[in-house]
Amino acid sequence: MNPNAPVRVRYAPSPTGYLHVGGVRTLLFNYLYARKHGGTLILRIEDTDQARSTPEHERMLLGDVVELGIEAEESPGKGGPHAPYRQSERLPIYGRYVQQLLDSGKAYHCFCPAEMIAEKREAALKLGRTPVYDGTCAHLPQELVSRRLSAGEKAGIRFRAPNRSYLLEDAVRGQVEFKAGTVGDFLITRSPQPHEKEIGTGIGMPVYNFCCVIDDALMGMTHVIRGEDHLSNTARQLMLYEAFGFKLPVFAHTAMVLGSDRQKLSKRNGDSAARDYLEQGYLKEALLNFLTFLGWNPKLEQKESLKPRSGHAEILFMDELIAAFDLTGLQKAPAVFDLDKLKWMNAQYMKLLPAETIASRARPFFEKCDLPEVREGLKGVSEEWFVRMVDLLRVDHGLLSDLPLASKVFFNDEPELSVEARLAVVEGNSVPVVTALKNAIESAAEPVTQEAFEAIQKQIGTQLNVKGKALFIPIRVALTGQVHGPEMKKAVPLLGKSRALSRIRAVEKQLHAV
């Protein structure tokens, strides 16, 4: 690879459903590297598996990419100098390169049925041997091949794998050796299924490893950053690069991600669609920040120079991640998907992002919540009031989805006194604080501002000679019926004098009830 060539990287998913977190991490690493080096990110759809790939799945996947705010310069939607960007639209291109291998004798037709190949593979494994193709069709006369194809027999095409070792200089794993004999002649096209068309006479449908090499070479990829699970494909791809005389990109195979139980990532331990996390109330900024640190860390010298705006070494906004990201920070050891860490990170972003952003993201959770009093209550308030309320609540809640329930405190004029709250006031001999609060609010000017309420609290503390929890807990109980909740000096201006009094009277009545 030319070290001075502009960086070109790609994310190439198969459209089989929503975008899962493992795919997001791969996309993110490529995005960060492209942005760091002023390069280009290509989004390519690998949909040659027509049985599993559907337009609807592609729409879902691309929608998730947009939702996460990651933008590619070249894609099926945007187009670009190497269009088309769907493999299903590139079949004639693959056909030409398959024919080139056939003409040069580097590939041949294989008529072996899949069942026979599976049986031979199973037999080799039982004998403790590496299952490689035994060459049944490797030396068929061309006349016989032509006759069988003319008779309607279907065939795949196999690449003649050189019987020698290959070395890969991987940007993450260092030197990786693929020893001779571990890869036999492999399929570059398969027999077409009944619903599929051949890409050329007797050529069949191209398979992943072949399409991947052709596309990466023709689209000018300088770096291929992908998961460790693709390392086993690389030997075959190196052979194809060599056969065509293509320049090799830099390969970087990133660490495997394990679940919190240190087992393979699954739905049970973190492997969910990105959309699932967003719908649970996680912020995309937190999810992307968290996934970046799964298998990557800044180099030591970068850590020492980093001065994150958040004040925390692992809470980095996107521009900071771009500035810090480099392939040398990618790690070999498996990374653990720690859901508790994600929750913590999300709670930090709940506090760090602008209140207007949190309010806008939270709005859909309010609109679909199953709390009628909240939905009805919001109809009568302004956007400015809503933002102030969310700004107050977000400090103590880690997810957007937590906010509607927490907001009940603002929409119930007669809060129900919890057992804990009753005990705190009665056993603490704090009923006089509730009475004093009622009297002070009754005589207060309207509106009751934050400053005015702070003065009321100070007045009650002096009058009754109480302070700290003995003062603040009964005041919160009087206004909310709960021991825990938002700061009352900020909540009361949102409640207003009338609603605050209504609440205090309702709580006072419950405190005096036998």
Tell me the C-alpha distance between 479 and 508, whole Å. 10
CATH number of the domain residue 286 falls in: 1.10.1160.10
Tell me which residue of 195, 165, 177, 204 sits closest to 54, measured CA to CA: 195
Q: Is 233 inside a domain boundary?
A: no
Quick one: pLDDT at residue 200? 72
3-class SS at 8?
Answer: strand
DSSP state of 402: G
Q: Structure tokens of 374?
A: 């909240």
Q: Is pLDDT larger for residue 137 or for residue 514?
A: 137
CA–CA gap between residue 456 and residue 444 (Å, rounded): 9
Closest CA to 506 of 440, 442, 412, 439: 412
Active site residue 299: no
Nearest to 281 by CA among 368, 356, 392, 354: 368
CATH code, domain carrying 387 = 1.10.8
Whether 347 and 360 map to the same domain: the answer is no
| Predicted pLDDT at 334 | 92
List, in order, residues 6 or more apart from 348 with CB less than 8 Å away: 286, 310, 312, 315
Q: Diameter of the chain by CA atoms? A: 108
- On whether both 503 and 468 belong to a single domain, the answer is yes
Answer yes or no: is 389 within a domain.
Answer: yes
Asked if residue 481 lies in contact with residue 411, where contact means CB atoms within 8 angstroms, the answer is: no
Average pLDDT across the chain, whole number: 91
Asked if residue 159 belongs to a domain, the reply is no
Above pLDDT 70, what percent of the chain?
96
Catalytic annotation, pick one of 267, 299, 458, 469: 267
Per-residue pLDDT, 452: 93
pLDDT higher than 50, residue 432: yes
Whether residue 306 is found in the same domain as residue 331: yes
467 in the same domain as 397: no
Residue 470, domain CATH = 1.10.10.350
CA distance 291 to 268: 18
Residue 268 pLDDT > 70: no
Same domain, 329 and 365: no
Residue, of 202 and 500, whose pLDDT is higher: 500
- More reliable by pLDDT, 199 or 141: 141
pLDDT at 514 (0 to 100): 47
**Residue 428 covered by a domain:** yes
Read off the pTM: 0.91
Residue 32 has pLDDT above 90, yes or no: yes
Instruction: Give the pLDDT confidence score for residue 277 in this predicted structure.
Output: 94
Q: Answer yes or no: do 440 and 502 share one domain.
A: yes
Q: Is the pLDDT reported for residue 269 higher than 80? A: no
Both 373 and 311 in one domain: the answer is: no
Q: Flag whether 72 is in a domain.
A: no
- Which of 351, 376, 394 is the C-terminal boundary of a domain? 351
Mean pLDDT of 51-71: 89
Query: pLDDT category, 267, cuts 50, 70, 90?
Result: low
In this predicted model, what pLDDT tens digit does every residue of 193-229 receive, in sequence order? 766 677 777 788 899 999 999 999 999 999 999 999 9
Cα 318 from chain centre = 14
Average pLDDT, integer, range 353-378:
95
In a domain, 230, yes or no: no
pLDDT at 316 over 80: yes
Please give the tally of structural domains in the chain. Answer: 3
Helix (H, G, I), strand (E, B) or coil at 511: helix
- 291 & 363 share domain: no
* 160 in a structural domain: no
Query: What's the mean pLDDT in 130-145?
Result: 93
- DSSP letter string, 352-366: HS-HHHHHHHHHHHH
Examine the domain organization and report whether 507 and 424 are in the same domain: yes
Does residue 378 share a domain with residue 445? no
Who wins on pLDDT, 120 or 252? 252
User: What is the tens place of the pLDDT at every residue in 68-85?
Assistant: 999 999 999 999 999 999
Same domain membership, residue 296 and residue 326: yes
Whether residue 329 lies inside any domain: the answer is: yes
The yes-or-no verdict on residue 192 having pLDDT over 80 is: no
Q: Average of pLDDT values for 17-39?
A: 94
Of 386, 407, 428, the position where a domain reaches its end is 407
399, 440: one domain: no
Q: Contact at 8 Å (CB) between 417 and 510?
A: yes
Question: Residue 254 forms beta bridges with which residues?
Answer: 227
Instruction: Give residue 503's domain range.
Output: 419-512
